Amino acid sequence: MEIYNRGKSSVNLNNFKFSGDINFTFENATIASGEYLIVAKNKNVYEGNNYKVFQWHNGNLKNFLGNISLFDNYDNIIDFVNYDNKYWWPQEPNGKGPSLELQNISYENMVSKNWKSSNSVGGSPGKSNNSNLLSNIFINEFLTSNDNFNKDEFNEFDDWIEIFNNNDFPINIGGMYITDNFNNLCKFQISYNSTEATIIPAKKHIILWADEQAEQGIFHLNFKLDKDGEEIALVQVIDNDTLFIDSLTYSEQTNNISFGRFPDGTNNWQFINFPTPADSNKNITDIDDEKKLSTTFSLSQNYPNPFNPTTTIEYSIPQSVMLNSFQHLNNSEIPNQVRDDNVKLIVYDILGREVATLVNQKQKPGNYKIDFDANQLSSGIYLYQLKSGTFIQTKKMIVLK
């Protein structure tokens, strides 16, 4: 547990005590103005990090229905919190690595929505909850006038913004802000209670729908993008400081043509005739090359993601010297001796149970697109896997109803 003194003077903690799920009484201790200190089950884990550490000896912090109260030396209650692992309380601190932390020191800690999962495993003991400035995260591509290119999970053609994590490790963007107005940097806060959905894996992307329909889900923003040009900013708030993580000002855009960084995460912006939501950006040459036969298997990230109830999955079957002679045939007419391995595209639930077979046949080299309808599935995380011979690739998708 972490204590913070937000007052302007030091406080003598002698005979201050914790009660509830754990019991501990301070002795010969003070906390300076602006100081953080830790009370831990095992202080050896936290000592040596330039903050005071104390150890309790009775009790344990519960995973649910927890109760902690702090009393002064006159038995007056100073602060208390009753937390849980359900309803509006963040789920991830319940054994998944992050700590449970108050979004801002000025917030009421008895309100569940004022708490969030920490951005990093183990939290930020002994320092501000928002002290870890996120970096190497980019506004990577956006589409301001989506007439008929791609739909969201409600089958609507909406504007979108793609965020790219250029780090070699996952980043949770929950709790960050995104805006289309530099005079209102905290216009929309990305949900901090859905860590599994808001974590961007290393070198991967996530789509935010700029549709002015925030009620449709955690990836739907409360503003639309202006085709004639405006601003976009990704913002992080650290205590009382509002910091730009990435931002840009753009000019007039064209229907169904996105504007993005190429390559991903660089400072080179260009128009993209064939947008690549939730995937690496490609220039015109790359798009033309894709029309040629691939030399390797590949499985793209589905889009939209999350979705309800339909999404699109694209994959490529590589060129083969032997198969050049059979390009005029239908897939069912390819001789077995030419390709012995079926192409399989299968959807699994998070427990590894097969829930849908999308492809199970021999296929000619080429680029394929499959529309998957998850109308019969419940909300949750699913895996889709492309397999042929020794090649296996798996990606994650989210059904959000």
Q: Would you state the pLDDT for residue 68?
A: 94
Q: Would you state the pLDDT for residue 257?
A: 92
Q: Would you state the pLDDT for residue 266?
A: 93
Q: What is the dihedral of CA 7, 9, 12, 17, to 10 degrees?
A: 0
Contact 319, 293 (CB under 8 A): yes
Contact 31, 10 (CB under 8 A): yes
Contacts of 208 (CB under 8 A, 6+ apart): 160, 161, 162, 163, 178, 190, 219, 220, 221
Question: Residue 20, by phi and psi: left (phi above 0), alpha (psi -120 to 50) or beta?
Answer: left
Q: Would you state the pLDDT for residue 313?
A: 92
Q: Would you state the pLDDT for residue 341?
A: 61
Q: Would you state the pLDDT for residue 330?
A: 55
At residue 39, the 3 state secondary structure works out as strand
Q: Would you state the pLDDT for residue 170?
A: 81
The single residue listed with the structure tokens 């990577």 is: 140
Q: Would you state the pLDDT for residue 111?
A: 81
Whole-prediction pTM value? 0.56
In terms of Cα–Cα distance, which of 166, 384, 204, 207 is closest to 305?
207
Rounded to whole angstroms, how far apart are CA atoms 128 and 149? Answer: 43
Per-position pLDDT tens, the chain of length 401: 999 998 999 999 999 999 999 999 999 899 999 999 999 999 999 999 999 999 998 999 988 889 999 999 999 999 999 988 777 787 778 877 788 888 777 778 888 777 887 877 788 899 887 667 888 999 999 999 999 889 999 999 999 999 999 998 788 898 899 999 999 999 999 987 776 788 898 999 999 999 999 999 999 999 999 999 999 999 998 867 889 999 999 988 999 999 999 999 998 898 998 899 999 997 644 444 444 455 678 898 888 888 889 998 998 887 653 344 344 445 555 544 444 468 999 999 988 899 999 999 888 778 888 999 999 999 899 999 999 887 889 999 989 87
